[in-house]
Structure 1
Amino acid sequence: MKVTINSAHFAATWHWSVPPDEVCGICRVPFDGCCPECSIPGDDCPLIWGKCTHVYHLHCILRWINSENSKGQCPLDRQPWVTAT
């Protein structure tokens, strides 16, 4: 017996590889959501880890680091902000 598939419909979900109950330390929005600057979570709103192990939405930490108050430091522990590689 030969089967021919004429069409298929797929559904998928995604999530960041951090616990789902964790939130961004700056905007306080869960990581499986998106920052206040974005309307749709995903690749346009990635997460970024610091060497201090804190995680933020990319847009949130960039806005923080570019502010005068940040002094180039992590907002949670005040260590110099260095992006983890």
Structure 2
Amino acid sequence: MPVETNPETQRCLLVSDGVRLEAQGPDIEIITDERLRMSVATLADHRVPITEAEADALTVAGAVDSRRHLKTTAPGSII
């Protein structure tokens, strides 16, 4: 799992390509990557693809939730 969280302290760890990034939950933003069709945690210039369970854990730790739901009926949707 590329994400570890501590909801009590709001400390989060993101792991991607051997890089370990530690931050407070509110410093992390969760977005939807339309091309990947999944959620991505962003911190500084780093992007870490994550599962929805990991995204939920990050939001409990205070991460900013900027995810969008992708719908097949939306004009211009890629799915």
Which structure is higher in RCO with an 8 Å CA cutoff and minimum separation 6? 2
Q: TM-score, normalised by structure 2?
A: 0.29
Q: TM-score, normalised by structure 1?
A: 0.28
Structure index of larger Rg? 1
More strand, by proportion: 2
